[in-house]
Amino acid sequence: MKVVNWFWIALSLGLAVSGCSKSSIYGDHGDLSPGFCKQWNPDFDYNGGRCAFNLSGVTRKKVKGCNLSRRQFSYCGDMTPTQVSYSERLKSRHDIDALTLISNSEHSSEQSFLSVNDGFLAEGRRVIPTSYNRLALRFPTRCTNFGTDAMAGMLDWLGHEIVKNFPGKKYAGIKLVIGDVAAPRGGCLWGHNQRVCHKSHKNGLDADVGYLTVRPGHSSPIEFHQIFDARSNYWFLKKVFHNPYACVKFIFLDRRNIAKLARVAGNDPEWKVMRRFIQHAAGHHNHFHIRIGQGPGQPGCFAPDSRLASNSAAP
C-alpha cells in the first residue's frame, strides 16, 4: 500500500487543525437504530435504552461516571464469537501475518460510532502480538486491545516497521508496548486499577502506546516508563504520521517531552506539520495517547464524518 506524504501537502496548503465536523453526541444519531445500539453498545441499558446519554433529567455526576456493573479488570467476556475465533487463529498459527488479514478485510469503514468519550465499537479488531511484529501488550489478560481496522492496522504496521528498521539479534528485544485501546465492543472502560475511568477509549479510535526504548542487546520494558529518548521516539512519531492505515487526529504527550522532540527535530520541515497535532495533556509523561480517524488520510483527519468526535475532546 502506497504511503501518501501528507506532510508536504499539508505544509503547502497551510492547513490548520480543524479535524472532522463536530456533532452533538446527544442529538440525532441518523441510522443508528436502537436495535443496532443494543447489539453493540455495552452501555446501552445504562444509557436508558439510548445510543448515548440523554442530558435531559440526567445528573452531571451520572454523565461523567460509568456503569458500575462494568467496573472490572478484564473485558474478555464482551468478545463476540468472531473475535474469539480471530484471536485463537492468530495465537495458534505462527505463519499468519495479521497485517495481511487486516489489509484484506471486508469490514465496513464504519466500525466506530459516536464520540471517543461516549461511543462504542462494532466488529472491533483485536491488536495481537505476532512473530511478524514487535508488539507487546501491557495487560495481555485485560482484553482492552480492540480498535477499528484502521487502528489495528496502524499499530501492527508500526510493529512491522520496528522489525525492518531494527533487525538482527541485538535488537530482537525491542518491543512497542500497547496499553489500553478499547474493550471488544467499546463503551465505558475503567482504568486497570478499577478506580479511575478513562475519559475516552470508548470507540476504538484511541490507543495508549509506550515510549520506544532502543537499547542494543537489551529487551524493552513491558511497561510504561518515563525514560524518553527523543531521537528514537521522533523516528517513531514520523512513522505514526506516515502510516498508511489511519490519519492521525491528535497525539497527547507531556510538554517536557514535546520540547525534547523539538530540539531533536531542529529545522526538519516535517516537524512543523507534526507539531500542530501533538498537544500537551497532563498524565502523559510515560506514554503517547494516539487518536486517529476512521481511515487513512492527512494529519488532522479533515474528511468530515458526522459520527466522529470533534478534535476538541479530552484524552
pLDDT at 85: 96
Beta strands at 135-137 and 176-178: parallel, antiparallel or unpaired: parallel
Residues whose CB is less than 8 angstroms from the CB of residue 109 and which lie 6 or more positions away in sequence, other chains included = 150, 294, 295
Per DSSP, the chain holds a count of helices (H) and strands (E) of 9, 10
In tens, the pLDDT along 103-125 reads 988 765 689 999 888 899 999 99
Cβ neighbours of residue 272 closer than 8 Å, sequence gap 6 or more:
11
pLDDT number for residue 1? 43
pLDDT tens for residues 151-192?
A: 999 999 999 999 999 998 999 999 999 999 999 999 988 876
Report the alpha-carbon distance of residue 21 to residue 36 in Å, rounded. Answer: 23
Q: What are the distances in angstroms from CA 234 to CA 32, 247, 283?
A: 40, 18, 20
Q: Quick check: helix, strand or coil at residue 272?
A: helix
Cβ atoms of 249 and 304 closer than 8 Å: no
Could you give the percent of the chain with pLDDT greater than 70? 80
The amino acid present at 160, given as its one-letter code, is: H
**DSSP-assigned beta bridge partners for residue 207:** 290
E strand or H helix at 149: helix 149-165
Task: Let me know: does 127 contact 86? Beta carbons within 8 Å.
Answer: no
The predicted model gives 74-102 an average pLDDT of 94
Residue 262 grid coordinates: 523539538
Q: Could you give the dihedral angle defined by the CA atoms of residues 23, 28, 30 and 32, in that order, rounded to the nearest 10 degrees?
A: 100
- In this structure, the number of other CB atoms found within 10 A of the CB of residue 208 comes to 22
The CATH class given to the 72-292 domain equals alpha beta
Instruction: Please report the pLDDT score of residue 15 as a whole number.
Output: 34
Q: Would you say residue 62 has pLDDT above 70?
A: no
Query: Is the pLDDT confidence value at 14 over 50?
Result: no
**β-strand pairing of 112-113 with 120-121:** antiparallel
Q: How far apart are CA 283 and CA 72, in angstroms?
A: 22
- pLDDT, tens digit (0-9, with 9 covering 90-100), for 228-269: 999 999 999 999 999 999 999 999 999 999 999 999 999 999
CB 145 within 8 A of CB 126: yes
Total-model pTM? 0.85
For the chain, the distance separating the N- and C-terminal CA atoms, rounded to the nearest angstrom, is 30
Distances in Å between the alpha carbon of 73 and those of 141, 183, 202, 245, 307?
9, 11, 16, 30, 28
